[in-house]
Structure 1
Amino acid sequence: MNFSYWEIKSWLTNVDFTIVGSGIVGLTCGLELRKRFPKAKILILEKGVLPQGASTKNAGFACFGSLSELIDDLQNHSPKEVLQLVKQRLEGLQLLRSTLGDRAIDYQQLGGYELFLKSDEELYATCQSNRDAVNKLLHPVFNAPVFALKENSFHFKKIKDNYSFNPFEGQIDTGKMMTALLQLVLKKNIKILNNISVKDISETASHAKIKTNLFEMDTSKVFVATNGFASQLLNENVQPARAQVLITKPIENLSIKGTFHLDKGYYYFRNIDNRILLGGGRNLDFKGEETTDLNQSTLIQNKLEELLRTIILPNTPLEIDHRWSGIMGIGNTKNPVVKQLGNHMFCGVRLGGMGVAIGSLIGKDLAGLLD
């Protein structure tokens, strides 16, 4: 681009720290760096008009895992690792809440529910037989039983008469949260450039070089916080996972409150502004959903509508108002990747679909990698 002297001097020269990605991780990393280095020149590069991955596109669940998700995690991780993951998620949520304040993000602890289809006897039986063991595992963190049975008071159809209830789960307004986080970052004199796609990052002996779609620049240190898009820049075990969502138009007398999980957490829904927000379904086409394409698929959208009309609100007239997708970062383990990649390059990626919960902590830990 044809930059002026002033633009080059003010934005692209003598940059101490450059962060790639302006989601929860990237913005929190910037805030932590500002605490440690009050006079540093910090620049954040974002490929979208708004944060492009999942930070502005998630369902706003302030959760740490449903009962079936944690049982599934115990099949692939040790009890110690699962307990550590839960602790990280809780610590991340607490950091997010303390950084911005509950009012700013509209945090509400209305509890979380897991529904079980009548046809899924095996999953229901597995959760019931393992509930006490999971509660025992989590007791050192919560000092109380986490999961209990509760009657189907919201009158969902085609599900078991009881569902799993977790009183510690909360919810936020994702738009308010990201607006507050962006405002705080700008207030701390951290610059953000949008519509900038980073194409390559290389290192010299003294600094890192960044090549974008519009310019090239040097920076003392670079922090990659692109989560689901990480494979475009890094050779790490991180794959994109698309999460498709729909939301209804406002519904009169919508009494559903809380956050709701279905089918091992592959589906999730909630009431927001008297609308039902419903997302998930990548288990219908795992391979096809390993994409950074933000469009939607007919297969998954049709399934979401089917669940909405037959299970969640079967006797209620409703209209779909909007559909969208977000990109998560997953891998062969739920453990995030927070590491130094070179003398001048660091990354904090692979949030495993728990970005709202764990994102702030990963951002803090990413900044903490700098000696």
Structure 2
Amino acid sequence: MNYSYWEIKEWFSNIDFTIVGSGIVGLNCALELKNKYPKAKIIILEKGILPQGASTKNAGFACFGSLSEIIDDLNSHSEQEVYNLVEKRWKGLQLLRNNLGDINIDFQQDKGFELCNSEVFFEECMAKKEEINQLLKPIFKADVFSVSENKFNFKKVHSKYIVNNFEGQIDTGKMMSELLHKAQKNNIKILNNSVVESFIENTNKVEVKTDKFTFKTGKLLIATNGFAKQLLNEKVKPARAQVVITKPIKNLHIKGTFHLEKGYYYFRNIDDRILFGGGRNLDFKTEETTKFGQTEIIQTQLKTILKETILPNINFEIEHSWSGIMGVGNQKKAIVKQVSENVFCGVRLGGMGVAIGSLIGKELACLIDS
């Protein structure tokens, strides 16, 4: 590629920190580094026109786990580990709100509702409700989970909902726009359409090769979450999430965030539309991909649940569908570590990027002088 003296001098010389990925983690990492090192030259490399993973493609749930998700986590994690996970998610959400402001991200705390598709499932959750409320009480100083009637008249579900009294929602687009604005105001340079192909670590520099240029940086911080395997040998699997949204629906009284089947399905009202995503559990293997797209099995099931459970007797049309790539693993804990002398990573957010992304970005930046 033919670059001018000015381009090389301004964008590709004397770089202190290079971050791969301009999502929630990458931008928060850059902002924290700028706060710690005000004179540092920081660039972010982003392979898409917009953040390419899940940061601009998620459902905008300010959540930290439904009751059945937490019960499920206790089967593979200790009580202390589950407590730590929820605490980190909650702290991360508060950091997000404090950093960007509730108005700027359209934060609303309208509670979360878990729908149970059988009496047995509901009773299994009820049997653990008090135990989990007690476990989480030191974090929230109140009961997180309670029960309410089926006031939104969903069909084919139990007559009562399990309520998460602390769950909220945000406007994902506004959140990311605000983060990008803050980065630009702080003179953090973001280079879009730049795919990092490889990197080589030398004595005190890292040589980074992209599909368009090669340059040297002092430190390299990788924040690519579901795409981490392309650059790192870490235990992160990609997990595609498919989402649909309807055209506006008149008199749509559904309010709050909603979970079905241990959180594998989720929906909400946004701008008088139903945003509905999930179904990865129908075909885990196919959804373990970094390719964006839709599959017939999941799209059919999303439409069926919309028609039979969420919007019975209401005519609706799907206007958009999309997918995002999350990073998951056998353990829910994110990987934030020093990979080598000058290379660091913050990946595997486990589908909780909105909740923990701000905190993981900050933790990643704090590894530099630890």
TM over 0.5: yes
Determine if the alignment matches structure 1 residue 158 to structure 2 residue 156.
yes
- Determine what percentage of the aligned residue pairs are the same residue: 63
Instruction: Determine the C-alpha separation between the residues in 2 that align with 1:17 and 1:278.
Output: 38
What SS is found at the alignment partner of 1:220? strand
Alpha-carbon RMSD:
0.6
Q: Of the candidates 198, 208, 211, which is equivalent to residue 210 of structure 1?
A: 208
Per-residue deviation, residues 67-97 of structure 1 (Å, max 9, x unmatched) = 0000001111110010111111011111111
Instruction: Determine the C-alpha separation between the residues in 1 that align with 2:199 and 2:127.
Output: 50
Q: Of the candidates 296, 299, 310, which is equivalent to residue 298 of structure 1?
A: 296
Per-residue deviation, residues 54-74 of structure 1 (Å, max 9, x unmatched) = 000000000000000000011
Number of matched pairs: 369
Letter of the 2:220 counterpart: V
Match of 2:169 in 1: 171
Structure 1 gaps, min length 5: none
Determine if the alignment matches structure 1 residue 84 to structure 2 residue 84.
yes
**Larger mean Cα displacement after TM superposition, 194-203 or 17-26:** 194-203
Letter of the 1:354 counterpart: M
Letter of the 2:56 counterpart: T
Match of 1:241 in 2: 239
Instruction: Determine the C-alpha separation between the residues in 1 that align with 2:271 and 2:245.
Output: 10
Letter of the 1:207 counterpart: K
What SS is found at the alignment partner of 1:250? coil
What SS is found at the alignment partner of 1:287? helix
What SS is found at the alignment partner of 1:154? coil
Match of 2:143 in 1: 145
Letter of the 2:164 counterpart: N
1:125 Cα deviation from its structure 2 partner: 2.1
1:205 Cα deviation from its structure 2 partner: 1.0
1:122 Cα deviation from its structure 2 partner: 3.6
Instruction: Determine the C-alpha separation between the residues in 2 that align with 1:301 and 1:196.
Output: 31
1:123 Cα deviation from its structure 2 partner: 2.4
Match of 1:104 in 2: 104
Instruction: Determine the C-alpha separation between the residues in 2 that align with 1:202 and 1:71.
Output: 43
1:202 Cα deviation from its structure 2 partner: 1.7
1:160 Cα deviation from its structure 2 partner: 0.3
Letter of the 2:277 counterpart: G
Scaled by the length of structure 2, the TM-score of the pair is 0.99
Structure 2 gaps, min length 5: none
1:206 Cα deviation from its structure 2 partner: 1.2
Per-residue deviation, residues 321-365 of structure 1 (Å, max 9, x unmatched) = 000000000011000000000110000000000000000000000
Instruction: Determine the C-alpha separation between the residues in 2 that align with 1:35 and 1:222.
Output: 17
Match of 2:197 in 1: 199
Instruction: Determine the C-alpha separation between the residues in 2 that align with 1:333 and 1:125.
Output: 27
What SS is found at the alignment partner of 2:346? strand
Per-residue deviation, residues 14-36 of structure 1 (Å, max 9, x unmatched) = 10000000000000000000000
Per-residue deviation, residues 216-240 of structure 1 (Å, max 9, x unmatched) = 1100000000000001000000000
Runs of 4+ in structure 1 off by over 4 angstroms are none
1:143 Cα deviation from its structure 2 partner: 1.0
Instruction: Determine the C-alpha separation between the residues in 1 that align with 2:340 and 2:202.
Output: 10
Give runs of aligned pairs for residues 27-42 of structure 1, distance below 5 A.
27-42=27-42
Q: Of the candidates 221, 224, 227, which is equivalent to residue 222 of structure 2?
A: 224
Instruction: Determine the C-alpha separation between the residues in 1 that align with 2:157 and 2:12.
Output: 57
Match of 1:74 in 2: 74
What SS is found at the alignment partner of 2:350? coil
